[in-house]
Amino acid sequence: MDFKLVFGSPQGRPSSNWHGSTATIVQSPGDEVWGVVWKMSTSNLISLDKQEGVEEGLYAPIEVDVSTQEGKLLTCRSYQMKDFVYDLPSPQYKKVICMGAKQNGLPPDYQKKLELIETNGYTGPVSIFEEIEAAVKKGKQ
């Protein structure tokens, strides 16, 4: 609660992997971000921080209070982009976010909101996206 999903480029530099901006959350009273909570061992924090670019100063870990659909309140670790410029994600990055929302059963209204996210229109190849699509296809077989 009281956060919204936005897209940006750390220090104004779009992601070379995604050819556009990436997601972060910012405080915004009255808004909400839906997602998935994963239970992890604290021994995985170093690896997760590395994946999220903490060492490079791209993201900072933050604690957020999350209300589950069952009404349980959890304190969770999330990541917030540092020193970013608002920008648009590539269509491929947006599609991965929408696929994840569908796969994890986020509310239909929130999925529709994600589908309306404007993109930068990038049409070239995105190798990480192609890897994700192949994994999804393989999982369905």
Question: In the chain, where are the structural domains located?
Answer: 3-140
CATH number of 3-140: 3.10.490.10
Instruction: Provide the whole-model pTM.
Output: 0.88
Which residues are known binding-site members?
93
* Six-digit token string for 22: 């990436």
pLDDT at residue 85 in the model:
95
Which residues are known binding-site members for substrate?
93
* Six-digit token string for 24: 């972060």
Mean pLDDT by 10 residues, the chain (141 residues): 95 90 96 94 93 93 94 95 96 96 96 98 88 76 59
User: DSSP secondary structure string, 26-73?
Assistant: EE-TT-----------GGGHHHHHHHTTTTTTSEEEEEEEEE-TTS-E
User: Is 91 within 8 Å of 122 (Cβ atoms)?
Assistant: yes
Q: Which residues are catalytic?
A: 52
